Structure 1
Amino acid sequence: MRPGKRLHPIQIIGVGLKGPEGLCPEVLDRIQQADLLVGGRKILQGFRGFPGQRFSLDGHLKGLDSKIHHAVKLGKRVVVLTSGDPNFFGIARFLFKSFRPEEMEIHPHVSSMQLAFARVRIPWDDAAFASAHGRDLLSVIHTVRSRTKVAVLTDPKNHPSRIARALLKAGLPDTTVYVCSRLGGPDEKVWQGNLSSLTGKRFPDLNVMIILNDRAGEEGFGIPDHVLAHDKGMITRSEVRAVTLGKLRIGPGHILWDVGAGSGSVSIEAARLARGVTVYAVEKSAKRISMLKRNILRFGSGNIRVVRGEAPSVLKGLADPDRVFIGGSGGHLEEILRNAVRRLCPGGRIVVNAVTLETLHQTVAFLKKRGLSLDVVSVQIGRGHDLKGKVMMQAENPVFIISADGS
């Protein structure tokens, strides 16, 4: 339960590398008046003269909300110290889950991002931001691939050298990068070079990367089939993929199940269509899973979750979908459709691609029986081939695309 009205709001205070010396008198007074002072071990070391109780986070937030709740109920003043701006990839997001905004007061310090761009003398109002702190690097790769100016918060595991290697491995250009370390401290440093010259270098743990990629956004919608790793032509062709994605109508924040994801061509394109999309790419073949992961690394983003296993059993642990695409069923089409209809969020949509009349009939019959509104289109592509210097059109097999709106 969230606490009711309290006498003393929780004070969330941003601190720089200079510690107390970098804070204004008003903020220092709030710290001195606190009964409970919360913060990381290094930040708390700068406040050795604090007379009240301390609570060290020690790299995790477990138990913090309950500790604060208990202190507040006893009428104590609570101050939470954090680095930089608490609202920027900071602790404020965590605390908003347990406390109402009016129960907190936030006092930001200059963020590391602000300092980094100031030191390299580059405007930052058009920059994108990513955090590698405790996360995989796919979201960083996607952001750098799609944006020309990206700032990245690193951590000891995902350090600048490792991030540079991951970006180059993903096929990004050997572009300009800055590493700004120990910002705001007496020993701050700014390094400039290319990604390739960064690999192998070591920096202090506290640093920010700024990556400039003039070639960002070159890979837009419609990835050519030949550049995607796939199993003997087992891929949703780009023309069919375009119609399929149009029928899915992916929107911001949607959750998509891509069942029978194969090489991931639909998953990858869908993940790029709107902000905040999460894609679950479900595939049972180990060989295709390997290709799927390679394609995600090359073209994808951090919002694709690879799920290895056979549907419908592996669908149990997934979040309820707003959109479901079935490109392959492994002989379990009705069971998969039954799960999709049952789990589909309000306003949801199901799209099935069928290459045989039997699959078309089975899908239409199942969805009609459940009273869903149907749309069926047949897509047949004719592809031009060279014939002694002339162009001859050769037809490919038709694909039936069945769309249904949930109840």
Structure 2
Amino acid sequence: MKSKVLIFGGTTEGRELAELLDRAMIPHAVSVATEYGEEIEENAGEKNLFVGRRNASEMADIMRDGGFGIVVDATHPFATGASEEIRKASIEAGVKYLRLSRDTASGSEYGEDVFGVLNLDEAAGKLMEIGGSVLVLTGSKELKNLTSKLGSNINIYARVLPNEDSLQKCKEAGLSGRQIIAMQGPFSKQMNIALIEETGVDAILTKESGQTGGFAEKLQAAKECGIKTIVIRNPESVSENSDGKSMSEIIREIEKETGALVRTITVAGMGPGDEKLFTVDIRRAIQGADIIFGAATVTAAFRELTGTKTPTKDIYRGEEILEFLDEHTEYMRPLVIYSGDISLCSGAIKATEVFEKAGYRVERIPGISSVTLFAERLRIDLQNCSILSAHGKDANVTGHAMKNERLIALTSGYKHALEIADKLPENMKVVLGYELGSKDEEIIVIKDSAEKEASKCEIPDSNIKDYTGRCLLYIENPEAYTNSVYPAIGDNEFIRGKVPMTKEEIRSFSIRKLGLTAESILYDIGAGTGSVSIEAALVHPDIKVYSIEKKPEAIELLNKNRRKFHADNMEIIEGTAPDAMDGLPAPTHAFIGGSNGNMKEIIEKVRALNEEAKIVINCLTPQTLSEVMDIVATYENITPEITQISATRFKKAGSYDLPDAQNPVYIISF
């Protein structure tokens, strides 16, 4: 299958298609009729060009010699003769022919003062009825034919391209001086109005050329000036036999024939919010986009900054964007904007996955992140700084701060940032960065361990000023590198009461048997004082621990110890297992220190929630061990590991060290 594409262009649509193929790295070439067309294509970056008018036989030779498998006819909708020659050449060369049509009628309203005609003869007849003078906006090709039909009855002004060929055709049509207006478009409504007022014409003559031909702007200008408009209808739009396809249909045909992905969605980060911080790539993407998606706050800020006239849509979720694009196939160069840097944006990451799964090629453009700006403002080195996103999700910022000397956390806003700061130990330095890179930027010191008086750090009141913008936290922990890598908390460090506690020798071995990972969800059933919960939670800040306990005095101790050790990834569940486990996320691990007589029901519930969950049980008595073994024996393919640990500590008694044996404990894991 030949995958090389030949585009007969010279139109905006042709250039857009060539650009899409270039970005998709699909081999292609563009054929244009004139040197002016060549100049336009070269300025657009096209390197593979055929220049000159050719008949069907000559076109067929190019198709065969160049190894082209697909021909796209993207010539002007009124160039019917050229299209017929291209069609004949494709048949002769045995090449697939695709006609790229233009939606030319969009935005037109035929009726009072706007007259649709089928050809130049009808247009001339209508102009003779109107009389006076006319501004011709149909190009130079048929000027001579038009002037011969109108004679000296109508004064003609013609706006044509500023090249020698167009000027020569004006002279051949008998036009001279100020009758010739040589200008390069596109033209705004205001420019058209100015030209109508300058020439004082009674009517304009235009083709139904669509959005790329500035059709709507011409109609609007004539209407506001109170003059009449004669429109030569697009032959394809009035024909019942047109085989023209939209750009999206052409793209799908090329993808089908070549096996390559042509459809592209650009996902970009706009940076912190100041236009001066836009990258060169994002500026290029903005200029090339035909629609821009993003959250309402992002698109609003974007429109204010850039003044863009490109349509925007306030959606940013991948599925919603795809649904919109499926309903609006006219958009071929969508741009999805996210604030900051897309590598730090979960929304951009998810959207990319959705787009690629749907068959789009995704171009990703990173922006300057607020993290980078924050580091610059604080004069810190990012290579020694960890980054954590707590924006819109549950993240254990305290746990990560305790593990890292320097941490930057993305938060969900000012209130959320202050809540995080309030949980952090007093020995840490905490700085808030607000709306970095914008005119509202503030650097606020919340805590500073170097300051002896907390009152020296004044936190702005959100009731006085509306702090609704983006917030980051910089957290510095001077004790991070002196902390033990493994928690290894001594028994005497816990707040104790009369509630039983798993001793550190047993606790250490039990946690080792659990084999926790960073993504573990641990049930600590019969949590007691929380020694296992706390130590497991401190193994890694992303572990989630659910401490299940029914005794009120134990619940009080659990809360106290959680606060003391800043175990924010530990949640206390008050109640009796297994009922208290209802509604919790499925466990990956479970530690059973006390069952309240419900051992069988607890094990069954854990396995029902996750058959692969690792379970570790502490048994003090042979009877409990026997009960557990009988329960485990009912399950096939489970071989429990059993370990008995007897620990003896020595305590000082005068000049002697006396042994103090602890109760032996059976540790069962499966």
Range of TM-score over shorter length? 0.7 to 0.9
| RMSD over equivalenced CA pairs, Å | 3.0
Q: Trace 1:2-401 onto structure 2 (pairs within 5 A).
A: 7-24=262-279, 26-32=281-287, 33-41=289-297, 43-48=299-304, 49-56=307-314, 64-74=317-327, 75=329, 76=331, 77-96=333-352, 98-100=354-356, 103-134=361-392, 139-158=396-415, 160-167=417-424, 172-186=425-439, 188-191=441-444, 194=448, 196=454, 197-198=456-457, 200-202=459-461, 205-216=469-480, 218-219=483-484, 220-273=486-539, 276-346=542-612, 348-371=613-636, 372-401=638-667
Rate the CA distance shift 1:329–1:341 in 2: closer, same or farther, 3 A: same
The residue matched to 1:335 in structure 2 has which SS? helix
> Which range is displaced more, 252-261 or 139-148?
252-261
1:174/1:254 CA distance change after superposition, 3 Å: closer
Retained in 2: the 8 A contact 1:40–1:81? no
Aligned partners of 1:323 and 1:350 also within 8 Å: yes
Question: 1:382-406 CA distances to partner (integer Å, 9 max, x unpaired)?
Answer: 23233234221122222211122xx
Q: Deviations over 1:317-359 (max 9, x none)?
A: 333333221111111111111223344444x422110122221
Deviation at 1:7, TM superposition (A): 4.8
Cα gap change, 1:291 to 1:53, in 2 (>3 Å)? farther
Q: Name the SS for the 1:114 alignment partner.
A: helix
Name stretches of at least 5 consecutive residues in structure 1 with no aligned partner. Answer: none
Structure with greater contact order relative to length (CA < 8 Å, sep ≥ 6): 1
Number of aligned residue pairs: give it: 390
**1:199–1:271: structure 2 CA closer, same or farther, 3 Å change rule?**
farther
User: Identity, % of aligned pairs?
Assistant: 26
Q: Normalising by the residue count of structure 1, what TM-score does the alignment of the two structures yield? A: 0.83
Change over 3 Å in CA distance of 1:68–1:16 after alignment to 2 = same
**Do the aligned residues in 2 keep the contact of 1:252 with 1:277 (CA within 8 Å)?**
yes
**Compared with structure 1, are the counterparts of its residues 199 and 375 closer, same or farther at alpha carbon in structure 2 (3 Å cutoff)?**
farther
Take 1:13 and 1:275, find their aligned partners in 2: how far apart are those partners? 31
Contact 2:530 2:547 in 1 (8 A): yes
Distance between the aligned counterparts of 1:27 and 1:88, measured in 2? 17
Q: Distance in 2 between matches of 1:53 and 1:327?
A: 61
| Residues 118, 291 of structure 1: alpha-carbon distance in 2 compared, 3 angstrom cutoff | same
- Could you give the per-residue CA deviations for residues 181-228 of structure 1, whole angstroms, max 9, x where no partner exists? 332234544455616343634585433322221112525421122222
Cα distance, 1:40–1:233 mapped onto 2, change above 3 Å: same
Kindly name which structure, 1 or 2, has the bigger radius of gyration based on alpha carbons.
2
Q: Where does the alignment leave 5 or more consecutive residues of structure 2 unmatched?
A: 1-251, 256-260
Letter in 2 for 1:154: T
